[in-house]
Amino acid sequence: MDSDAPRPSEGSTFRLVELEASARYARERYQLYTAKSYGSRFTSQERLRRLKRESELAERRLERAKTRDRDAEA
């Protein structure tokens, strides 16, 4: 590894951990609400779509950050 090559800083590592937690939280909220929709209680299709969208966006942010860090290491 070249000593002049930029390396991920502690801040970017912390940011990745934060984004992973955020993506996991959004994914779990969507999965729980999806499971709830199979029960007898009322669920909102609008809320289900919003939770799905939030989950997908959180995953994309995480993937972008991982790609950015990989590119910085190369």
Q: Provide the 10 A C-beta neighbour count for residue 1.
A: 7
pTM of structure: 0.78
Q: Of 1, 5, 3, 22, which Cα lies nearest the Cα of 65?
A: 22
Own/partner long-range contacts of 10-16 (Cβ < 8 Å, ≥24 apart)? 12/65, 12/69, 12/72, 15/65, 16/62, 16/65, 16/66, 16/69
Check pLDDT > 90 for residue 72: no
% of the chain with per-residue pLDDT over 70: 84
Q: What is the pLDDT of residue 41?
A: 85
Check pLDDT > 50 for residue 14: yes
Check pLDDT > 80 for residue 40: yes
